[in-house]
Amino acid sequence: MAGVDVRKDPVSVKQRIGVVPQRPNPDRQLTAIQNLIFHAAYFGIPRATATPRAQALLDQLGLGDRGEAKVDQLSGGQQQRLMIARALIHEPEILFLDEPTVGLDPQARLALWEVLRSLHDQGRTIIMTTHYMEEADRLCDRLAIVDHGKLLALDTPAGLKARAPGGTLIEVTLDGEAAPVVPALQALPGLSRPAAKGNELHVYSERAGEAIPGILRAAEQAGRAPTDIRLTPPSLETLFVSLTGRKLD
Amino acid sequence: MNPSPWKVFGALVRRDVHVVSRELPFFLLRTTLQPIMFTIVFGYLLPKMGFVQPGYTGALLPGVLGVSLAFASVQAVALPMVADFGWTKEIEDRLLAPVPTWVIAVEKVLAGTVQGVIAALFVLPVARLIMGPIAGLDFAHFGLVIVMTLLGAFAFSAFGLLLGTAIKGEQIGLMFGLIVAPMIFFGCAYYPWKALSATPVVQVLVLVNPLVYVSEGMRGALTPALPHMSLPVVAGALVVISGVFMALGLRTFDKRAVS
């Protein structure tokens, strides 16, 4: 981590990183700006240095006039931005964000994206986790897909999308086991990699619209009736599904 | 460059002073109301009615102080910590500080110790006022009073660290019902340990209760002429108890801090 061994010297690592938790956890006994000034003090930064820096961060994050507010008076999005200010107050080399936009309304989410972009433009290394593929696609230079602690892929978003399985993912929910339908699909032209998972049928096609009638016929011949059909065009999401074999939570 | 642990420790203390000083009246009310009410009933009403001998207040006062400081110390550490680790996760901003996590735990225990001492200092004049003149009360050994208060408050703060990190949020009511309440009633707070010689089995059993040593220590320091446990034994017991609770508490704190 920034040239420091996490196991041997965890204290120096803490000095170099800023962490934004998934759920805002400000010190509720303190006001917004006190949260920043005390957090700076925990990093040995004197009050005289911390106070102007805290105000500048609040300004930058659109909280300039909320400094004296109690934390409970801030909205969820404002608290999340306060957490970012807190993570930055000691000027860490690397900023970690754990699913920072979970639970935010669309407007607050876009505002947060703007903040992250501007921090990135200032040259700060940002590592974030997210379940939103769209968010990862838009914000990240490098993207890793991790499933149960295993690194499955690591590349630029464009590079990863190029690896996404060809065609649109067609998911059909049936009223019974999907497995008996799979052999019939393997015989159909224009379909690739049909697979069954419980009542779910997964198959890829370059021309999804034309392929659907054939799939439905095959299902009916196997004695199954479709109850739902979903189409997902090639994207990070289809790549994720093909790599992990499961839908996003 | 990492800041010196002392500097970070100082910042942690400043945060607690800032927060606790604002909450102090509520804190005192919460932690000392029970011992003060006990003082009113057993130190004022019952003697007035003639159910209790007037000399009983000499045995009661040190015990009431012991309960106050023990109860205040445990609560000062355990209650915020159960919430912090259970749901608010607020302590995370301190766990991110560039110091080993045990520094944060030790600061909490010392802050709890100070709060316990404040509670005892608050209850002492109040109890004296309610009870009237107390036979045997002697401030000649005030240094001893301070030492016993600090030892007792530290032991119970360390106990608070263990409880606060080992107990889940939904069990907090259980903690007070099953652990703290029996501890108070069987802690020799409202009767001297020597008097338990009337029931030898109980006299031995209560020795596992840390509060016994706090109460007896306060007795030895405040009412030295009345029967009490030997002070070196009390001090030794409190040091051992503190060490055990501290070691266990730091371990559970570290576990909770990492998860």
Q: Which pLDDT tens digit goes with each residue over A3-51?
A: 778 878 888 889 899 999 988 999 999 999 999 999 999 999 999 999 9
Which of B9, B81, B90, B94 to probe by mutation at the A interface, max A CB count within 10 Å? B90
Q: Which pLDDT tens digit goes with each residue over B34-45?
A: 889 989 999 999
In three-state secondary structure terms, B74 is helix
Contact list in A for residue B92 (CB cut-off 8 A) is 19, 21, 25
Contact list in A for residue B90 (CB cut-off 8 A) is 25-28
State the DSSP string of chain A. -TTS-TTT-HHHHHHHEEEE-SS----TTSBHHHHHHHHHHHTT--HHHHHHHHHHHHHHTT-TT-TTSBGGGS-HHHHHHHHHHHHHTT--SEEEEESTTTT--HHHHHHHHHHHHHHHHTT-EEEEE-S-HHHHHHH-SSEEEEETTEEEEEE-HHHHHHHSPSSEEEEEEESS-SGGGHHHHHHSTTEEEEEEETTEEEEEESSHHHHHHHHHHHHHHTT--EEEEEEE-SSHHHHHHHHHSS---
Residue B177: partners with Cβ closer than 8 Å, 6 or more residues away:
none
One-letter amino acid identity for A2?
Answer: A
Chain A closest-CA separation from residue B199 CA (Å): 48
Q: Which residue has the higher pLDDT, A26 or A166?
A: A26
The pLDDT of residue A247 is 53
The confidence band for A2, taking pLDDT boundaries of 50, 70 and 90, is low
Nearest to B70 by CA among B153, B127, B148, B173: B153
The pLDDT of residue A249 is 44
For residue B108, give the H/E element and its range.
Answer: helix B101-131
The pLDDT of residue B62 is 93
Say which residue the tokens 């930058």 belong to: A60
One-letter amino acid identity for A74?
Answer: L
Residue B129, burial from CB neighbour count under 10 angstroms (0-12, 13-18, 19+): exposed
Q: Which pLDDT tens digit goes with each residue over B148-196?
A: 999 999 999 999 999 999 988 788 888 878 888 899 999 999 999 999 9
Residue A109: partners with Cβ closer than 8 Å, 6 or more residues away:
A101
Q: Which residue has the higher pLDDT, B170 or B9?
A: B9
* Averaged pLDDT for residues A98-105: 83
Q: Do B98 and A43 touch (CB under 8 A)?
A: yes
Q: Do B12 and A42 touch (CB under 8 A)?
A: yes
* Averaged pLDDT for residues A200-208: 84
The pLDDT of residue A246 is 62
Chain B closest-CA separation from residue A144 CA (Å): 23
Contact list in A for residue B89 (CB cut-off 8 A) is 21, 23, 25
Q: Do A86 and B8 touch (CB under 8 A)?
A: no
Could you tell me how far CA A151 lies from the centroid of its own chain?
15
One-letter amino acid identity for B222?
Answer: L
Q: Which pLDDT tens digit goes with each residue over B123-144?
A: 999 999 998 888 888 888 889 9
Is B17 part of the contact surface with chain A (CB cutoff 8 Å)? no
* The pairing of beta strand A200-205 with beta strand A168-174: antiparallel
Contact list in A for residue B7 (CB cut-off 8 A) is 44
* Averaged pLDDT for residues A207-222: 84
In three-state secondary structure terms, B133 is coil
**Rg of the Cα atoms in chain B:** 19
In three-state secondary structure terms, B221 is helix
Q: Is the pLDDT of residue B60 over 70?
A: yes
- Residues from A contacting B (CB-CB < 8 Å) are 10-12, 14-15, 19, 21, 23, 25-30, 34-35, 38-39, 41-44, 86
Contact list in A for residue B107 (CB cut-off 8 A) is none
Nearest to B140 by CA among B75, B256, B220: B220
As a whole number of angstroms, the distance between CA B198 and CA A46 comes to 61
Contact list in A for residue B88 (CB cut-off 8 A) is 25, 28
Q: Do A41 and B14 touch (CB under 8 A)?
A: yes
Q: Is the pLDDT of residue A123 over 70?
A: yes
The pLDDT of residue B11 is 94
Partner residue opposite B90 with nearest CB, options A10, A25, A43:
A25
Contact list in B for residue A86 (CB cut-off 8 A) is 93
Q: Do B96 and A25 touch (CB under 8 A)?
A: no
Chain A closest-CA separation from residue B177 CA (Å): 28
C-alpha distance from residue A114 to each of A61, A63, A107, B61 (Å): 10, 14, 11, 64
- How many other C-beta atoms lie within 10 A of the C-beta of residue A189? 7
Partner residue opposite A21 with nearest CB, options B1, B3, B92:
B92
Q: Which pLDDT tens digit goes with each residue over B212-259?
A: 999 999 999 999 888 899 999 999 999 999 999 999 999 999 999 886
State the DSSP string of A187-214. HSTTEEEEEEETTEEEEEESSHHHHHHH
Chain B closest-CA separation from residue A200 CA (Å): 36
Q: Which pLDDT tens digit goes with each residue over B93-116?
A: 899 999 999 999 999 999 999 999
